Structure 1
């Protein structure tokens, strides 16, 4: 019996390790795909005048309203399809990427740019020292770094149900993308800089509400403010970035921008987990 139990535990441990390995691989591939798709947000900006860049970015983000409803529903729908929780959710998510692949595969640009000779523009050291580049990267990074630990805190630490957690996250994602319908008017009235300052102020209020209580209502209010702040910062930073480079430099500046932003987010994720488990 002891040998059987030891063998059973060993097999279960190996199976768990394989599941973890596959989840890590899936997450890695998901990250690579997301990094590629994120580059597409600069495309509409390049097709309009710089004073319309915020409007172009807002139009792209409106598509996120669909994800606000579709993403959490897919997570709930596929959660219990397999013995390991959420494997079905990953499977449903992968079908969305397949549909995206098919849409992009059959897309053909009517006016593809023709590069006659290889030119590189200024060096990166010069570009990244510009105040406009520093502000663009810093504001976008702040927007992503703050929004890391909420699902874990709600579902794992405070014991809210998956349905309650889904409702709060769904509200948060709606708050991230719905303001895109009105952000161009805000930019026209106040300008990019003031809109981004408002985004930072919304973050500060979000932090105060989160620190005060971990009730469901506080989570809901804090995550809505977090979404609004992210929208203002993300649209502002994406619209500011093209002011830091010219057409010859965009292919090296845009990837560096995203590399810095999402590496900061990657460092914030384990840091958030450590803070939640040690100071909550």
Structure 2
């Protein structure tokens, strides 16, 4: 009797490893779009606006808002048509959005640029689903590793995105960054090709309509509440600080290349630990990994508040990336404990809608906070939110221990 489940688990994980590798490559290409927008969006905004630079981060905010708006449609589309079809369609849409962004830069059309990056962000909602797709065909033991493998693809995104900016920013000089968005469209088309090789079973209509438990019952679980809160906090704080950093660096007399490289090191730190985060989760537990990530986020702000030279900015962004990796992957792994297989697309979509809704709010606030109150205030805000999440983790662990003891 035990030989059959073991064989099935082997087959499942063989397929899961194949899918995770493909999704990791697609993550490297799709994730590059985010790092390109984060490295250039506020700089393009500042160049196209007048004397009031408080809206300079609006393009980045539009990207994040697009991701928030895309989460629920992404869940519906993939629930109905399957992961592969949804991902491939999104890649084509992303290529079109990148072309529109390039045209907007050429014509100095700020509203069109914001709309184009909003559409790129909408595609980002599908990219965010890569990590869940990797877990779909994985055994319970391999799920954290599958998620980590996919997010490890972001290591390449951390190089591809900023290096694309550096190598193409002057391609159509004196119009900065127009070539960058043309290149971003090319990356989306390559991603389309990679995703065509995915093998994830389409949802069975009868099973899809079975539905599972009411959504309210699922989200009311203590573990869901804490997992979602930690995912929201880690991603929102990361975005708050990261969005403001290029403008803060330029304001301190540093160059666009310094800012692009800072984003590169940040993205590398975000995804580099993914090669071993899954193993760490298996060894020391999801809650401890999340707590470690929250402490690193607080450490980022402590470093940022200690100086304004390029070393301080780079070190702070590295800690910010490491903290996000541990906290967000840990929270994502916690979330997978809260739903059944037939409930997964609804719960994942709701989780990402909450996460990116708050991330959008943080992104919209970032430019205004920096412009009005300064770099110090942006970083001080990190401390109370990380402390709150640590308290929630303690509440979760204490509650679950009480249930086991009873």
The two structures share one fold, judged by TM-score above 0.5: yes
Q: Which residue of 2 aligns with 1:196?
A: 290
Q: Which residue of 2 aligns with 1:46?
A: 136
Tell me the secondary structure at the aligned position of residue 210 of structure 2: coil
Q: C-alpha separation between the residues in 2 aligned to 1:90 and 1:110?
A: 31
Q: How many correspondences in the alignment? A: 265
Is 2:172 the partner of 1:71? no
* 1:242-253 mapped onto 2 (5 Å cutoff): 242-253=336-347
Q: CA deviation at 1:110?
A: 6.6
Is 2:213 the partner of 1:122? yes
List gaps (5 residues or longer) in structure 1.
1-12
Q: Which residue of 2 aligns with 1:89?
A: 180
Q: C-alpha separation between the residues in 1 aligned to 2:234 and 2:324?
A: 5
Is 2:304 the partner of 1:210? yes
Which deviates more, 267-276 or 84-93? 84-93
Q: Which residue of 1 aligns with 2:246?
A: 151
Tell me the secondary structure at the aligned position of residue 109 of structure 1: coil
Tell me the secondary structure at the aligned position of residue 206 of structure 2: coil
Q: Which residue of 2 aligns with 1:22?
A: 112
Tell me the secondary structure at the aligned position of residue 317 of structure 2: helix
Q: C-alpha separation between the residues in 2 aligned to 1:120 and 1:275?
A: 43
Q: C-alpha separation between the residues in 1 aligned to 2:289 and 2:218?
A: 24
Q: Which residue of 2 aligns with 1:163?
A: 257
Q: Which residue of 2 aligns with 1:279?
A: 373
Q: C-alpha separation between the residues in 2 aligned to 1:214 and 1:152?
A: 12
Q: Which residue of 1 aligns with 2:398?
A: none
Residue of structure 2 aligned with 1:31, choices 118, 121, 125: 121
Q: Structure 1 pair 209/108, CA: closer, same or farther in 2 (3 Å)? A: closer
Is 2:267 the partner of 1:173? yes
Tell me the secondary structure at the aligned position of residue 57 of structure 1: helix
Q: CA deviation at 1:80?
A: 2.4
Is 2:197 the partner of 1:107? yes
Q: CA deviation at 1:59?
A: 0.8
Q: C-alpha separation between the residues in 2 aligned to 1:64 and 1:54?
A: 16
Tell me the secondary structure at the aligned position of residue 272 of structure 2: helix
1:162-203 alpha-carbon deviations (Å, 9 max, x no partner): 121122221111111111122123223311111110000111
Q: C-alpha separation between the residues in 1 aligned to 2:200 and 2:109?
A: 44
Tell me the secondary structure at the aligned position of residue 116 of structure 1: helix
Residue of structure 2 aligned with 1:262, choices 341, 347, 356: 356
1:124-174 alpha-carbon deviations (Å, 9 max, x no partner): 22111112111222112222212232222223x223111211222211111
Q: C-alpha separation between the residues in 2 aligned to 1:220 and 1:37?
A: 26
Which deviates more, 267-276 or 119-128? 119-128
* 1:211-230 mapped onto 2 (5 Å cutoff): 211-230=305-324
List gaps (5 residues or longer) in structure 2.
1-49, 51-103, 375-406
Tell me the secondary structure at the aligned position of residue 244 of structure 1: coil
Q: Which residue of 2 aligns with 1:9?
A: none
Question: What root-mean-square deviation, in Å, do the aligned CA atoms of Structure 1 and Structure 2 show?
Answer: 2.0
Q: C-alpha separation between the residues in 2 aligned to 1:26 and 1:110?
A: 30
Q: C-alpha separation between the residues in 2 aligned to 1:108 and 1:226?
A: 32
